[in-house]
Amino acid sequence: MTIPIALLFGLVQGLTEFLPVSSSGHLAILSMLTLDNTDLFFTVLLHVATFLAVCVAFYKDIWALLRELILFIPDTIRKRPPRDPAYRHMLGMMILSLLPLVLVVFFKDRIEALFTTPWLIGLSLCVTAVLLLFADRYGNGTKTVGTMTVRDAVIIGLVQMIAVIPGISRSGATLTAALFCGMTREDAVKYSFVLSLPTILAAAVLEFAGAAASGIDSALLLPYAAGFVVAAVTGYFAIGLVKLISKNGKLKIFSFYCAALAAGLFLSYLF
User: 0.85 cut: is pTM over it?
Assistant: no
For the ranges 133-142, 169-178, 227-236, which has the lowest average pLDDT?
133-142
Q: Does residue 5 contact residue 31 with C-beta atoms inside 8 Å?
A: no
Residue-wise pLDDT for 20-43, tens only, equals 887 777 777 777 676 566 666 777
Q: Please, what is the average pLDDT of the chain?
A: 82
Nearest Cα residue to 159 out of 2, 1, 10, 20? 20
Quote the Cα angle for 238-61-102, to 5°: 80
Q: Does residue 193 contact residue 54 with C-beta atoms inside 8 Å?
A: yes
Q: Cα separation of 229 and 130, whole Å?
A: 33
Amino acid at 241: L
Nearest Cα residue to 204 out of 47, 49, 50? 47
Residue with more model confidence, 244 or 215: 244
Q: Cα separation of 255 and 134, whole Å?
A: 10
Does the structure show a pLDDT above 80 at 202?
A: no
Does the structure show a pLDDT above 80 at 215?
A: no
Q: Does residue 228 contact residue 46 with C-beta atoms inside 8 Å?
A: yes
For the ranges 124-128, 219-223, 258-262, which has the lowest average pLDDT?
219-223
Residue-wise pLDDT for 139-166, tens only, equals 678 899 989 999 999 999 999 888 888 7
Quote the Cα angle for 244-250-252, to 5°: 135
Residue 183: strand pairing partners: 143
Considering just the CA atoms, what is the radius of gyration of the chain in Å?
Answer: 19
Q: Which helix (H) or strand (E) holds 194?
A: helix 185-214
Q: What is the dihedral of CA 231, 175, 23, 168, to 10 degrees?
A: 180
- If one counts every other C-beta atom within 10 angstroms of the C-beta of residue 258, the result is 28
Average pLDDT over residues 165-174: 83
170-180 and 185-214 helices cross at what angle (nearest 10)?
Answer: 150
pLDDT > 70: what percent of the chain?
86
Q: Cα separation of 10 and 255, whole Å?
A: 23
59-78 and 85-98 helices cross at what angle (nearest 10)?
Answer: 100
- DSSP states of 121-174: HHHHHHHHHHHHHHHHHT----B-TTT--HHHHHHHHHHHHHTTSTTS-HHHHH
Does the structure show a pLDDT above 70 at 107?
A: no
Q: Does residue 231 contact residue 49 with C-beta atoms inside 8 Å?
A: yes
Query: Residue 237 class from Cβ within 10 Å (0-12 exposed, 13-18 middle, 19+ buried)?
Result: middle
Q: Three-state SS across 22-43?
A: CHHHHHHHHHHHHCCCCCHHHH
